[in-house]
Homo-oligomer: A and B are copies of this chain.
Amino acid sequence: MALKKAGVLGATGSVGQRFILLLSNHPDFEIHALGASSRSAGKKYIDAVSWKQTELLPESAKQLEVVECKATGPFAECDVVFSGLDSDYAGTIEKEFVEAGLAVVSNAKNYRRELDVPLIVPIVNPEHLSVIAKKLSDAKAEGKPKPGYQICISNCSTAGLVAPLKPLVEAFGPIDALTATTLQAISGAGFSPGVPSIDILDNIIPYIGGEEDKLEWETKKILGTVNKAGTQFVNIPDEEMKVSAQCNRVAVSDGHTECISLRFAKRPAPSVEQVKQVLRDYVCDAFKAGCHSAPKQTIHVLEEQDRPQPRLDRNRDNGYGVSVGRIREDPVLDFKMVVLSHNTIIGAAGSGILIAELLLAQKLI
């Protein structure tokens, strides 16, 4: 099968670099367009980028020409466009791309709360892509050209949080109270400049701008439903699910750790062993659909009392698997546990790639 053409917006930034790494040697995609600011446009990628990844810059990407972020030229030919744009720019550019008929998978926050835009954690709620499928089939039925569309990747700490919640809700019914205190890696803040080192060495920053609100809000959309018309998303109402987040930045390079507590609406609550079993047994739809990057084991339930740890566990299933440990009863709510996820893989660019694999599996691109 011919490779699908992929574009990357914000190609020189931290998320863009990750997209490029993940697309190199990908069995389904090839890099067709790299977009960056006008300052970089016209340069070879190797000359435009300050490469900061632990893996080497792929040879295949070095000589590619960077272009401006316009929905013309090579971008117009793309089957899917991944956006690592900063939110200052993502609003306008992504809108232009969608209006030009392109499929945009974005890491930016700008459109996450739009009613008709899927907010996807691909190991959690791929069924939300049905809204896109309907949009395309409606257009076809009406004889219109294939429309562009926008899909949003969730916030990084939200992705790790909802991974264990999904199978738990499926098995035990609604969660009516949830608290999450996060210990988030510095890579989540990018690197231009990201977190200044003097702020994080021998220190903690107990605040990440906008993060707590994102975590509290996005959880209710991702675990929410689609309306009857199949066209819009309906969040879990605030009164049905109370979510409280406290977000901290810590001196960890990659991997967000979250200490969570939760209470189920139904009584009696399940046992600790039932909770573990449901998490262990969960197989995400992306894996069932044969997606290349999907984790074989979606949730790794760790029994060692001092795990998960970011340095040791963040790369399970190439960063697409989520680790959950210390599952135990909670004196205040029902259960508490520690969740670890790789913030630049399942929490950002990696999810974008897996979303595109789902689109391909569903023949939406």
Residues of A at the B interface (CB closer than 8 Å) are 52-54, 56, 177-179, 181, 183, 186-187, 191-207, 216, 238, 242-244, 246, 248, 250-253, 257, 259, 261, 305-312, 315-316, 325-326, 330-333, 336, 338
Q: Which residues of B contact A205 (CB under 8 A)?
A: 306, 309
Counted per complex, copies of this chain come to 4
Once the chains bind, are A202 and B202 in contact (CB under 8 Å)? yes
Complexed CA–CA distance, A78 and B320 (Å): 39
Question: Which residues from chain B contact A243 at a C-beta distance below 8 Å?
Answer: 331-332
| 6 examples of A-B residue contacts, CB within 8 angstroms | A187-B198, A200-B201, A204-B250, A244-B331, A246-B336, A332-B333
A53 — which chain B residues lie within 8 A by C-beta?
312
One of B197, B204, B325, B331 near A183 (C-beta < 8 A): B204
In the complex, the chain B residue whose C-beta lies closest to that of A238 is: B331
In the complex, are the beta carbons of A201 and B202 less than 8 A apart? yes
Residues of B near A305 (CB, < 8 A) are: 207
CB-nearest residue of chain B to A325 = B206
A306 and B261 contacting across the interface, CB-CB below 8 Å: no
Question: Which chain B residues lie closer than 8 Å to A202 at the CB level?
Answer: 201-202, 251-253, 310-311
Nearest-CB residue, chain B, relative to A180: B181
**Closest Cβ–Cβ distance, residue A153 to chain B (whole Å):** 20
| Minimal beta-carbon separation of A254 from chain B (angstroms) | 8
A309 and B203 within 8 A (CB): yes
Known: A191-B199, A259-B248. A338 touches B253 (CB 8 A): no
**Distance in angstroms between the alpha carbons of A114 and B10 in the assembled complex:** 45
Question: Across the interface, do A196 and B196 meet the contact criterion of CB distance under 8 Å?
Answer: yes
Q: Which residue of B lies closest to A332 (CB)?
A: B244
Are the C-beta atoms of A331 and B253 separated by less than 8 Å?
no
B contact residues around A251 at 8 Å (CB) = 197, 201-202, 250-251
Q: Give the docked Cα–Cα distance between A316 and B56 (Å).
A: 8
B204 near A310: Cβ-Cβ < 8 Å: yes
Sort A-B residue pairs by CB-CB distance and give the 4 closest, nearest first: A181-B181, A193-B193, A203-B311, A207-B306
Are A201's CB and B206's CB within 8 A?
no
> Beyond A246-B259, A251-B201, is A206–B332 a contact (Cβ under 8 Å)?
no
* Residues A261 and B248 in contact in the complex (CB < 8 Å), given A54-B312, A202-B201: no
Distance, CA A296 to CA B265, complexed state (A): 46
Known pairs A200-B197, A251-B201; A206 contacts B52 (CB<8 A): no
| Chain B contacts for A187, CB-based, 8 A | 198
Taking CB atoms, residues of chain B closer than 8 Å to A186 are 197-198, 201
In the bound complex, residues from chain B placing their C-beta under 8 Å from that of A310 are 202-204
Contacts of A306 in B (CB 8 A): 205-207
- B257, A248: Cβ atoms closer than 8 Å: yes
Chain B: minimal CB distance from A35 (Å): 23
Distance of A92 Cα from B348 Cα, bound (Å): 46
Chain B nearest CB: distance from A230 CB in Å?
Answer: 30
**A4–B52 Cα gap in the complex (Å)?**
40
Contact across chains for A54 and B311 when beta carbons are under 8 A apart: yes
Inter-subunit contact B216/A331 (CB<8 Å): yes
Complex Cα distance, B242 from A310, in Å, reads: 30
Q: Is the CB of B242 within 8 A of A183?
A: no
Q: Identify the closest chain B residue to A247 (Cβ).
A: B259
Residues of B within 8 A of A179 (CB): 179, 261, 332
* Residue in B closest to A181 when the chains form the complex, CB atoms: B181
